[in-house]
Amino acid sequence: MKKLIAAASAATFALSLAACGSDSATDDEVVGDTVEEPADEALSDIPEETPVAVEPAPAATEVPESRRQSLEESGDRAEAAADDIEAALEAEFGQAEDARDAEAQ
C-alpha cells in the first residue's frame, strides 16, 4: 500500500513539474513594462501631500454594572467551554497515541 501511495505521489509531482515548463511562444509576447510603471502612471495625477481629515475618537462611555457583569460571565463561560474542548482533544489524542504505541509493540 505504501509503495502504491509513493508511486502515485511521484507521478503527481512529475506531472506538476512538467506543467510548469515554459513555452517560447509566450516569451515573445512579454513587454518590458513592470508593475510599477502602470501604477506610477495611475498615481501621477495625485498630489504628493494630500491632506487627510482625521476625526477625534468618540469619548468612552460608561458601561452599566449589570452589563459589565453579564459580559464577564459570558467570557467566563466561553473560557470554560474552551477548556473543556481542549481537555477533550487532549484525551482523544492521548488515546490515539496509546493505541498507536500499543499497535507498534
Q: Write the CB contacts of 63 (distance below 8 Å, at least 6 apart in sequence).
A: 71
Residue keyed to cell 452599566: 64
476625526: which residue's cell? 55
C-alpha cell at 90: 487532549
| 37, three cell numbers | 510603471
Question: Higher model confidence: residue 94 or residue 15?
Answer: 94
Cell of residue 44, nine digits: 501621477
Which has more confidence, 40 or 81?
Answer: 81
Per-residue pLDDT reduced to its tens digit, 11-44: 887 777 776 766 555 555 555 556 667 777 777 7
Q: In this structure, which amino acid lies at residue 3?
A: K
Residue 86 carries which DSSP code? H
For the residues 58-63, what does the mean pLDDT come to? 78
